[in-house]
């Protein structure tokens, strides 16, 4: 069964490009324009990995991660941002997330995704 990847980004072009790329790699991809929509979706509990923008209106990627951790979800996160800085990078790593500054290569994203899914498999074993 393919892994379910949820992409949360307020940019519709980023969502579309990521969905197409993930589907071409054999993943099931769902996209959401906001963290709130993802949290209220049917895909919330089926998601194998979350790829989310750090900076979004209302709820940031970090806020989403904290909300899910507060609910007991150990879903791995990949945090992406067009505004990378050392503090954000350090915060992401301390939270256990992969961090990618935009623009990033497909290979960098796939590497993060494979590591996240592998780590998730080890944690549930």
What is the pLDDT averaged over residues 75-89? Answer: 95
Domain positions in the chain are 4-124
When pLDDT is averaged across residues 23-27 and rounded to a whole number, the result is: 97
Q: Which of 77, 74, 72, 49 is nearest to 62 (CA)?
A: 77
Q: What is the pLDDT of residue 120?
A: 74
Encode pLDDT of 40-65 as tens digits: 999 999 999 999 999 999 999 999 99
The second-level CATH assignment, the architecture, of 4-124 is: 3-Layer(aba) Sandwich (3.40)
What does the pLDDT read at residue 123? 63
- Please tell me the predicted confidence (pLDDT) of residue 62: 97
For residues 96-104, average pLDDT: 94
In 3D space, the residue among 70, 82, 76 whose CA is nearest the CA of residue 10 turns out to be 82
Judge whether residue 20 has pLDDT over 60. Answer: yes
3-state secondary structure of 1: coil
What phi, psi does 13 have (nearest 5°)?
A: -70, -40
Nearest to 53, CA basis, from 88, 22, 90, 94:
88
């Amino acid at each position: 069964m393919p892994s379910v990847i949820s992409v949360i980004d307020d940019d519709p072009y980023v969502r579309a490009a990521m969905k197409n790329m993930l589907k071409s790699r054999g993943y099931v991809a769902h996209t959401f324009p906001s963290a709130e929509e993802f949290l209220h979706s049917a895909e919330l509990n089926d998601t194998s990995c979350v790829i989310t923008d750090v900076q979004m209106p209302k709820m940031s990627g970090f806020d989403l991660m904290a909300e899910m951790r507060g609910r007991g979800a150990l879903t791995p996160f990949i945090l992406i941002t067009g505004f990378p800085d050392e503090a954000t990078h350090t915060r992401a790593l301390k939270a256990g997330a992969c961090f990618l500054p935009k623009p990033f290569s497909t290979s960098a994203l796939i590497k993060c995704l494979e590591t996240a899914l592998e780590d998730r498999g080890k944690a549930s074993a």
